[in-house]
Structure 1
Amino acid sequence: MATITKRNNSYRATVSLYQKGEYKRETKTFKNKKDAELWSLEMELEKGRGKNIAERSTLFTIFYQNWVNTVKKNDVREATFINYIRTITVVSSLFEGIKLKHLDDIVMQKKIDKYAETHSKKTTRELVLKIRGSLKYAYARGLITNDFGSLIKAKGQEHPKRNIALSITEFKKLRQHCVNHQEHEFNVLVLLALETGARRGELLGIKKDDLFEYGIHISRSISPTNNDTQLKTKHSKRDISINKDVYNSLLTLAESKSDYIFDWNSFRQSQQLQKLLKQLEITKTTFHGLRDTHASFLFAKNISIDYISRRLGHNSILTTQNYGCTINSVGE
């Protein structure tokens, strides 16, 4: 049972806990007796529900690290798990010395806001999503009294959009250059990116056996950070039709290859693309911007959104609709 002891002008509540053959105590000091009694009652009720109150004194940094290495390790693909591992250092820095029992949405929000001061809103949002997942698990285990993760908001700096869709004029200019200079393997890769809207890793993962008449089969993705070749989603596995000239370019390149069609080139495609765009005096964009360019071209042609969704390998049509709203419109 809980005990309440008056100490000068405050009241100290103590709850006895039994865990793994050992008795422990959880204490908290209040200004008035009523609050001490209310807290004691809540703790006794939590004990009665089988909640793991003793472990609420665990540091959040330790809990988060264990959650990543035990729960998430077998729950996500290798590439995603690596992203979780990277957040351990961030969480360890932000929440050093803070115990689970001392966490609430206000404490958490202040720490997240501090992180957001030097990071983009997108990066902050990704961190918040991971922390929310850990808090949901902590609540289910009875390590925190409520799931306040949904109350945490992601702020941060708004950086200029890097994945810019090229205009139709620039699209045609880049495509024609790649067609005219196929002696450079990278130009064929860019040509295929413009033609299919496939992700860079998906293009680098194409093997000779993935070619079929006027089309390519997407079945793997190459990552610069790990050996995981799984695709982003189950819908990413797809067949994409291509024009005859692009198909012939791939056939010619494939003749000199034994397995993968494109050289991974130490994953320096981004630098190569910037050099090419500067040479042609075309708007600076990223390799993913070529995917946006392809999508914009399809949207501009009023092609069925269902077809666009399948071609891009999206999880659902809703994803494609949202995607269409975020990319820039194709210029004339």
Structure 2
Amino acid sequence: MKNEIKKPPTESQTFAEYYESWLRIYKKGAVREVTFNRYQMTLLWVKRLIPNLVLRDLTRLNYQDLLNRYAECHEKQTTIDFHHQLKGAILDAVDDGLIDRDPTRKAIIKGRVPRSKKAKFLNQFELHKLLSALDLSGSLNWDWFILLVAKTGMRFSEALALTPSDFDFSRQTVSVGKTWDYKHGKGFVPTKNKTFSRKIQIDWQLATQFAAMVKDMPENKPIFIHKRIFNSTVNGRLKKLCVVSGIPVISIHSLRHTHASLLLFAGVSIASVARRLGHASINTTQKTYLHIIKELENKDVDLVECKLKSKSYLFYYCYELAVPVYGVSSCM
């Protein structure tokens, strides 16, 4: 048959050849295109680092050597991802009897020391200056887009996909259930996972403004898309606004960080911020905003210390524990 997949003999099949076939059979069409592209990148590294290694000869020793060589020019988290993308194929090969034992067992993950990463964001004063510089006098433009992202914390592709039907002005919410594929020009695509889909509460002023702007627009067409759009287009406009406002130049994604940071500083719980941002796990929020969380914890320590020194607090504490209060020392 013409369409029959020709496989090299099992004894001589290289791991790179097996992995390429495995991707085509198990992953192509089953995962998002962006995810499949990451698998393809892993395949390129396999071809580069172990082009001639026969599948049956894959052992713990040469697999560890593969990880070590990859880790020489990648950070640890990237190496972990590389390992996980290979492991699925390798375990299938073990199940099919192509490899005698699991060579990924007890693998040691190494990697370069990660560069210091700190989410760049504006403080409340700087954000106010930016929003004051927006031109909101006419029809929907990129200034309206910047305003929306700043006040909702949406991802760039999520905000691009918004249609009039996504707004519930009576309840003051915006529904996020899809994204816009601006990179490949494929239009609407589903969100990556269920946690990305959510309703975001907006303030009455933003609701009133957008109600007026979208009232005559088609219900299911994106409100910001009229032609092919690129991330650099919006970032270029944002850069000009930052320069005019005399504030640090940030990207559109940094507006998302700004939104989350200001919520955390305002006392909103990490769990609520995670839901609003559509993070897959609260751990993602904690890792991204670790520096802010630590700063807030330091403030909490000061607050607790201040409260503990307060006589009124000590009286209340003794009362709750039914301790006789004859003086501050009675409950200490």
Tell whether the 8 Å contact from 1:164 to 1:327 is kept in structure 2 after alignment. Answer: no
**Aligned counterpart, 1:171:** 127
Q: Does 1:207 align with 2:176?
A: no
Q: Percent identity?
A: 27
**How large is the RMSD of aligned CA atoms in angstroms?**
3.2
How far apart are the structure 2 equivalents of 1:188 and 1:88? 42
How far apart are the structure 1 equivalents of 2:252 and 2:189? 19
**Aligned counterpart, 2:252:** 287
How far apart are the structure 2 equivalents of 1:55 and 1:271? 54
Deviates more, 1:197-206 or 1:300-309: 300-309
**Aligned counterpart, 2:196:** 236
Tell whether the 8 Å contact from 1:60 to 1:98 is kept in structure 2 after alignment. Answer: yes
Quickly say closer, same or farther: Cα 1:219–1:95, change in 2 above 3 A. same
Q: CA deviation at 1:89?
A: 2.2
Q: CA deviation at 1:55?
A: 3.2
How far apart are the structure 2 equivalents of 1:78 and 1:97? 28
| Paired amino acid for 2:166 | D
How far apart are the structure 2 equivalents of 1:183 and 1:158? 44
How far apart are the structure 1 equivalents of 2:105 and 2:213? 51
Q: Does 1:297 align with 2:230?
A: no
Structure 1: where are the runs of 5+ without partners? 1-53
**Aligned counterpart, 2:302:** none
Q: Does 1:310 align with 2:275?
A: yes
**Aligned counterpart, 1:190:** 146
Tell whether the 8 Å contact from 1:240 to 1:311 is kept in structure 2 after alignment. Answer: yes
| Paired amino acid for 1:194 | A
Quickly say closer, same or farther: Cα 1:302–1:94, change in 2 above 3 A. same
Instruction: Give the TM-score of the pair, scaled to structure 2.
Output: 0.71
| Paired amino acid for 1:312 | L
Tell whether the 8 Å contact from 2:176 to 2:199 is kept in structure 1 after alignment. Answer: yes
**Aligned counterpart, 2:223:** 261
Shift >6 Å, 4+ stretches? 181-184, 326-331
Tell whether the 8 Å contact from 2:183 to 2:230 is kept in structure 1 after alignment. Answer: no
How far apart are the structure 2 equivalents of 1:94 and 1:256? 57
Deviates more, 1:287-296 or 1:167-176: 167-176
Tell whether the 8 Å contact from 2:120 to 2:250 is kept in structure 1 after alignment. Answer: yes
| Paired amino acid for 2:142 | F
1:66-81 map, 5 Å: 66-81=21-36
Structure 2: where are the runs of 5+ without partners? 1-8, 297-332
Of residues 201, 205, 217 in structure 1, which corresponds to 2:175? 217
Q: CA deviation at 1:60?
A: 1.0
How far apart are the structure 2 equivalents of 1:288 and 1:56? 50
**Aligned counterpart, 1:60:** 15
How far apart are the structure 2 equivalents of 1:132 and 1:273? 42
| Paired amino acid for 1:87 | T
Tell whether the 8 Å contact from 1:297 to 1:330 is kept in structure 2 after alignment. Answer: no
| Paired amino acid for 1:267 | N
How far apart are the structure 2 equivalents of 1:116 and 1:211? 46
How far apart are the structure 2 equivalents of 1:327 and 1:55? 54
Tell whether the 8 Å contact from 1:136 to 1:149 is kept in structure 2 after alignment. Answer: no
Deviates more, 1:154-163 or 1:71-80: 154-163
Deviates more, 1:86-95 or 1:235-244: 86-95
1:1-332 map, 5 Å: 55=10, 57-144=12-99, 145-148=101-104, 151-156=107-112, 158-161=114-117, 163-178=119-134, 185-213=141-169, 214-226=172-184, 227=186, 229-254=189-214, 257-258=217-218, 259-263=221-225, 265-268=229-232, 269-325=234-290
Instruction: Give the TM-score of the pair, scaled to structure 1.
Output: 0.71
How far apart are the structure 1 equivalents of 2:107 and 2:277? 33
| Paired amino acid for 2:24 | N
Deviates more, 1:165-174 or 1:279-288: 279-288
Once the two structures are superposed, residues 150-190 of structure 1 have per-residue CA deviations (whole angstroms, 9 ceiling, x without a partner) of 51414136345374232233232223323767767112112
Q: CA deviation at 1:323?
A: 4.0
Tell whether the 8 Å contact from 1:193 to 1:290 is kept in structure 2 after alignment. Answer: yes
Q: CA deviation at 1:203?
A: 0.7
| Paired amino acid for 1:205 | A
> Alignment partner of 1:188: what SS?
helix
How far apart are the structure 2 equivalents of 1:150 and 1:72? 25
**Aligned counterpart, 1:12:** none
Higher strand share: 1
Q: CA deviation at 1:328?
A: 7.8
